[in-house]
Structure 1
Amino acid sequence: MIQTKKENPTGKKTSLVSRFFRSSELRSSKDESRRESNDFGETDSQPSNGTQETATSDTAKPQPLSSEMELGSGTEKNEPFLQKLGRKAIYKCLDLNNCRLTTADVRELVALLPFLPDLEELDISWNDFSGGTLCSLTQQMHLISKLKILRLGSCRLTADDVRALGEALKATPELEELNLSWNSKVGGNLPLILQKFQEGSKLQTLELVDCALTPEDGTFVGELLPILQNLEVLDLSINRNIGSSLDSIAKGLKSTSNLKVLKLHSCGLSQNSVKILDATFRYLCKLQKLDLSCNKELGGGFEGSAAQLATLKPLEALDLHQCSLTADDIVSLTQIIPLLSNLQELDLSANKKMGSSSDNLLSRLRFLPALKSLLINNCALESETYTALAEASIHLPALEIFNLSWNKCIGGNLKLLLETLKLSTSLQVLRLSSCSLVTEDVALLASVIQTGHLAKLQKLDLSYNDNICDTGWAIFCQNVWILKELTELDISLCPSNFRDCGQWFRHLLYAVTKLPEITEIGMKRWILPASQEEELECYLQDHKRSIHVDYGGT
């Protein structure tokens, strides 16, 4: 692994207050510069990264605190900071996500709250220290009553923290988003946190992923949902014990007509759960994303039990991966999925029955022209089903992500996808890992690259295809430099196989010099001779490129 890392040149840790002050000074300086520029009639330029930003008319969203600087003991006094802060600075976003906060840092954070009356977003997720210290913060929540977003994911909250949080939420009537994910003590105590929510609550997002929720918690959620009329996102994933309380949850869902995202990934759902949910779908007229994945007992439940799923016309994402779908399920889904004309993301991966019974379903994907992401990896596709998929994929012009990994039948038959590869001008991610590809397949891929048909490709996974000879890799590496937007390339070998790199490695190294965006190259179990390893390291040092090259190893 080749990796560069910047170190703190002073070797000293900075307190939360000092760090916050530096950030405020930087923003103040930028504001002054912007005002000076505007005095001369200059206008702000558009973002250069290609993303579209939305500005509000009343105030500009400030930059969150950087999480790259180290936080320390917080021993520096905050008086100078508070004197300079005064009443001029109004911060709406305080992002301390994954900052290795200490108990002293929390004390400083609490000291800041009186000076942040307009704070709208507070994120202290992924700070494992937090457990047992949240009480000091929640006692001051009334000082930030305008809070709209509170994220406390993976903070190791204790039972005392949970109780204190429940009381504190009474002081945040504007709250729109609450994330308590990955806190196991939430399980069994959920009513203590959420029972203070009243009719008319503004809560739009509730995330409780992997919180060890009990069946009783699930029942409580069902009873709470009618109160949350503005709820748009509900994520209860990885709570395996709430499947038995799905009746209550589904009953509550009938009152959430504004719901746009429902995630029940790995929730212990059964065949009967499909029938229960299907009865609620007609009430979820705005639902855009539905995730029922990794519920292995769900298999067999779709047979004649999911007719209402077809009424979800706004649905844009459907995730049914690893649901043990049966042949009868697939027959039912064949009648439903093609009717979801707005579908943009479809994940059917890791359902082995797809291989022998999904040709009708896959052929009808042509009726989903808006489809951007199609994941059908590890489905044991057979020749007939693969052919149906290849023919349908020609009619998916918007396709950006295409994952066919772990389908062995593709080996020697990549040519069936030739027209798709030529026509998919939007394709950004192509995964063909462990597809038994042969030399002729990568030569075909190289020819498609050479003609410029995959110009938008950013991620290409050809790993675990050990039957490709050195000649094939040479042809591929001689052409891969044409993919100017490529950021990740994986050509790793299977765990049981080790091979010496051939002369094609020089072609790959040359390609890297022509790929301005590349950051990751996977070459696990390829063995570099000392001369080639030295050549690689010298190149990365000389060109000061931040590229991770993972080679050799196990």
Structure 2
Amino acid sequence: MDSTGSAKGNQKRSPLDLIMNQLRRKAIFTERKKPAVSRLFRQSESNSKRNGEIPELKESEGSEEKENSEPKKEVNNMDDEIGSVVGWDRVKQFIEKLGKTPHSQNLNLSHCDLTATDVVELATLLPFLPQLDVMDLSWNDLVGGSLKALTAHLQHLERLRVIKLCSCRLTAQDLTALGESLDCIPLMEVIDLSWNVGIGAGNLRDFTSRLRPDNTLKELRLVDCQLSETDITALSVALPMLSSLEDLDLSNNKLLVKGMENFTSSLGSTPQLKSLKLSMCGLNKDSFSILGQALRFITGLEQLDLSCNKEASGGLASMATNLTHLKHLKSLDLHLCCLTKEDLLALVQVASSLQELRELDLSSNKGVGDTLQDLLHTLPLHQISKLPLNNCALSTSACHALAANMVNFKQLERLNLSWNKCVGENLREFLEPMKATDSKLQELRLSSCNLTTEDVLHIESACQRGVLSRLKQLDLSYNGSVGGGGWTSLFGKAGCLKNLEELDVSLRPAACLSASPWLPALLEALPQLPCLTRLSMQHWAVSSAEREKLEKILSKKNVILECEATPTSKATAYREVL
């Protein structure tokens, strides 16, 4: 019976069937030996069926399972690979159309004039970006109102950690959609919604009310969002949900006293907070006092930015004692806070407890000039890396005291003494104590310091000694009293400034001097400055021929030139009038 049945089965199959079967088995065997990449370029079995090709017939049930199980698996893998390649090609085409470079982990589409249609198209491409880590759609005004089309597909981005939507004109509906999508993005750490005025007026709660206690958010930035007291209250309610928060930036939002009370009362719910920025928030003396009480609960704080709060005069005196709780504070920014002498003396009293302080910004506070000497005795100078003292009305005695302590600044990287007239004729005292082996100075700003030719010669000497070998930014602008000989000598030692990136020798807008005496030295120096990216020489008078030579050299080095040049004839006339 079996032999008869088998014979009958064989009689039903034509010789053509047998030949085709053998060809297919041979093709499958060959295909298995090919690398995975080559399989991307052959048609799938489903395509063959659609084209009317003859399917392979089964010889027996046992051989079917043995021979056909692996080919089916290969076909499925092949389809996935083909889909992935085709999808990535679509992603590349979309991103390159917007003038950006495709990257599987970093999607940067900022400043691309995205439309609502683009957002919808981008949403369809998200399944092909499973490795995406950062998504930046900032500075696209038309994204607002269409964000839900994108967030509905964020479940494909399980590795997404950073999303930036700065200046996108976000609406309340966008905030709701973003908040609802957080549940499907388990690794989200950074959300930047800065410069979206639509977040204010009570709309922030549409986002914060969706936060869950198990979220992993570490950074939240809401700069200049016109937050109201209602918004600050909503944020305060949400802070207990943000136990992992490390960085909070509310700068450029008007924070009234009542809002500050609500906000600071919840800061204790963020024990991991390391950076708090409240710059230009309209904080006053009472606000500083309220914040001071909250500092006891965020002892891990490393960066505190209270700058540009001009109404805070006298507030630091009431807050200073609480700074002693911040044992790990590395950066304190109080520039442009109209600090009084009492404020600064209070800071002097607690400065010795700030043993990890690296950066202290007291610039644009006139009272610093009278208290700097006392402050220098208590600060951990050996680890200070940034000390801006520009526009601090430093007295001659304060300058001498600072110069005498320059030898103690072992880690100093940024020194800004601009707009302190006493620096002129005293620059030698600052530079001579510095040794090449210890110097880490990368930024030196001496704008409008009444520098003389002799001062610039001391800078030249410091270059020769290697003190400025790491310098990246050098600002000598608004020092019109420096003679041509000083500039010529300085540029003659340009070879010692191998790391210099930015150089500024501009004059005041009202000044008008000829650059001809020292321009040849600058032209010779430029090839010796391999890292230079920006040269500013505003308001210097140059001839058309001189400017042509200058631009020719700079164009080869891709250096940005800032020079609203004045004709040399006008400069000559100006000097004759003087």
Q: Normalization by structure 2: what TM-score?
A: 0.78
Match of 2:569 in 1: none
Q: What code does the residue aligned with 2:138 have?
A: S
- Over 3 Å counting, the alpha-carbon distance change for 1:171 and 1:158 in structure 2 is same
**Partners in 2 of 1:509 and 1:90 — Cα distance?**
40
**Partners in 2 of 1:67 and 1:415 — Cα distance?**
58
Shift of 1:226: 1.7
**Partners in 1 of 2:554 and 2:159 — Cα distance?**
49
Shift of 1:279: 1.5
**Partners in 2 of 1:65 and 1:210 — Cα distance?**
34
Give the 3-state SS of the residue equivalent to 1:318 in structure 2.
Answer: strand
Give the 3-state SS of the residue equivalent to 1:434 in structure 2.
Answer: coil
Match of 2:176 in 1: 163
Match of 1:194 in 2: 208
Q: Deviations over 1:198-252 (max 9, x none)?
A: 2232111111111110011112222211221111111111101355411111111
| Segment of structure 1 superposing worse, 243-252 or 375-384 | 243-252
Is residue 288–residue 318 contact of structure 2 (8 Å, CA) maintained in 1? no
**Partners in 2 of 1:494 and 1:480 — Cα distance?**
24
**Partners in 1 of 2:292 and 2:563 — Cα distance?**
48
**Alignment pair present for 1:209 and 2:223:** yes
Match of 1:459 in 2: 473
**Alignment pair present for 1:490 and 2:517:** no
| Segment of structure 1 superposing worse, 469-478 or 490-499 | 469-478
Match of 1:129 in 2: 142
- Over 3 Å counting, the alpha-carbon distance change for 1:220 and 1:476 in structure 2 is same
Shift of 1:161: 2.1
Report which of the two structures shows the higher radius of gyration computed on alpha carbons: 2
**Partners in 2 of 1:175 and 1:210 — Cα distance?**
22
Give the 3-state SS of the residue equivalent to 1:237 in structure 2.
Answer: coil
**Alignment pair present for 1:476 and 2:490:** yes
Tell me how large the CA RMSD over aligned residues is. Answer: 2.5
Match of 2:545 in 1: 531
**Alignment pair present for 1:266 and 2:266:** no
**Partners in 2 of 1:266 and 1:443 — Cα distance?**
40
**Partners in 2 of 1:242 and 1:233 — Cα distance?**
21
Q: Deviations over 1:437-462 (max 9, x none)?
A: 11111011111112222111111000
- Over 3 Å counting, the alpha-carbon distance change for 1:67 and 1:497 in structure 2 is farther
**Alignment pair present for 1:71 and 2:98:** yes
Q: What code does the residue aligned with 1:384 have?
A: S
Which of 243, 260, 266 in structure 2 is aligned with 1:252?
266
Which of 379, 403, 418 in structure 2 is aligned with 1:390?
403
Is residue 136–residue 164 contact of structure 2 (8 Å, CA) maintained in 1? yes
Is residue 189–residue 219 contact of structure 2 (8 Å, CA) maintained in 1? yes
- Unaligned stretches of 5+ in structure 1? 1-27, 29-61, 75-88
**Partners in 1 of 2:186 and 2:472 — Cα distance?**
43
Comparing both structures, which one devotes a greater share of its residues to helix?
A: 2
Is residue 214–residue 241 contact of structure 2 (8 Å, CA) maintained in 1? yes
| Larger RCO (CA under 8 A, 6+ residues apart) | 1
Q: What code does the residue aligned with 2:401 have?
A: A
Q: Normalization by structure 1: what TM-score?
A: 0.81
**Partners in 1 of 2:550 and 2:105 — Cα distance?**
46
Match of 1:413 in 2: 426
- Over 3 Å counting, the alpha-carbon distance change for 1:350 and 1:68 in structure 2 is farther
- Over 3 Å counting, the alpha-carbon distance change for 1:247 and 1:201 in structure 2 is same
**Partners in 2 of 1:100 and 1:251 — Cα distance?**
41
**Alignment pair present for 1:501 and 2:515:** yes
Shift of 1:90: 11
Instruction: Figure out how many residues of one structure are paired with residues of the other and give that number.
Output: 475
Give the 3-state SS of the residue equivalent to 2:360 in structure 1.
Answer: strand
Match of 2:188 in 1: 175
Give the 3-state SS of the residue equivalent to 2:276 in structure 1.
Answer: strand
Match of 1:6 in 2: none
Shift of 1:304: 4.3
Is residue 255–residue 283 contact of structure 2 (8 Å, CA) maintained in 1? no
Where do residues 199-348 of structure 1 align in structure 2 (5 Å cutoff)? 199-348=213-362
Is residue 378–residue 405 contact of structure 1 (8 Å, CA) maintained in 2? yes
Is residue 192–residue 222 contact of structure 2 (8 Å, CA) maintained in 1? yes
Q: What code does the residue aligned with 1:178 have?
A: I
- Unaligned stretches of 5+ in structure 2? 1-36, 38-87, 567-578
**Partners in 2 of 1:164 and 1:305 — Cα distance?**
40
**Alignment pair present for 1:437 and 2:451:** yes
**Partners in 1 of 2:112 and 2:297 — Cα distance?**
41
